[in-house]
Chains A and B, each alone.
Chain A
Amino acid sequence: MSFGQTPKGRSKQLGLGSVLIGLLLSSPTFAAPPGDLSELMAQLAEVRSVSARYTETIQVSLLEHGIESTGTIRYVAPDTLIELVDGEPPREIRIQGDRVRISEADETHEIDVGEHRAIESMVAALRSVFTGNLVELERHFHVRFERLGPGKVGDGWHLTLTPDDAEVAWLFSRIEIRGSGREIHRIEIREPNGDSRTMRFEHQEIDSPDG
């Protein structure tokens, strides 16, 4: 019985936000706007790699104002994600398969994703977004797909993921992803108590067969 996220005292934070970013970054190149969700998923499956700059804003009720951080993120199919957080010293978070490695200055920690229910569920489910596995995605989340325009290139879309599992929902009540055509604009992770974290992306470089 314990909080698994913090073995041996020192807080080891897993780059869940980065996982989301990576997964979503992998998905913004659409040859055509998706007619429906399965079409979107089919297109996501083709992405080979993505890199981008990001800005993250964290809103917490304990704080007077939001905290902002920036960095670079890179995803390589099928399952590698590297996030570099700007700072002195910079922090690197590397996720490969089920292993997570966090390096800061001279310190490195490794975590097995499978040890932590909420994280594993998120990683597994969101990985299914970029591998285009709709069946797997719907096993973990209630998925709502919404088109914000008539369906032409450049029109917006909106994906809402609601976790089915109570244990995951305790940490995240909702994940909203907004994009338009080839671009993801932002990912917003909402927590049950009203706190949230929002990530915006720019300078995306996408490698896919037709990109």
Chain B
Amino acid sequence: MSSARNNLFVILSMFGVWQITYWAIGDLALRPPLDTIRNAWSLIGSEGFMAHLNETLQAFTFALAIAVTVGVALGFCLGMNRLAGEVGEPLLVSFYSLPKITLYPIVLLIFGIGMPSKVAFGAIHGIMPITIFTLGALRNLPPILGRTSKVLRLTRWQSVWTILFPAARPEIFTGLRLGFSLTLIGTLLGEMFASQRGIGFLLMQAIGLHDTDRIMALTFLIVGFAITASLMLLAINRHLRHGAA
């Protein structure tokens, strides 16, 4: 209950800061919160919006599925093999710190303009944090768990599935939360720079027309979606950590 109250307080504070910033800057660059909510509502009801939203959600879902599958699998492969982990981790961290946007021309050359490149670009953003967190989660597991799986006479697969994965799950899930946000960013960036459909495309179009109402409404919807999803994932993460605390 107090957590819900804290969240509400944070949201109201953000609206307050937004309103104050609007008073300070004015109509040139911002719209006030209430106007933005109204604009967002009418944008949702406008013709064609749902098709764009559907396009973005589809690309994001595929990208996230790829990021989670590849990230967790790669993290397990590197985390279970010490040598592979020691070789792979510095490469992963270097790649993680690279501005991914510099790779976008190559992604476009490989996948072309459209859904595949958006999915690929979104997945590239999500895979790294998920892999790094999965690798770290496995590496930080206490060695006693490995010895315990031996004395319980588990096979390698049983050991991974029934002991190592559940023990590493809270930290892996933290990586998934981060991967979720970065995959969303990657997908939207993909739509902004080389796409004819999707929320990112609408945003780029609004920027081109200097349509501040639309820019603010779209940003509000994207941020609203990201915060809601993040809070839900955080709640699941807390639930998972309850047992591991």
Q: Do A and B come from one complex?
A: no
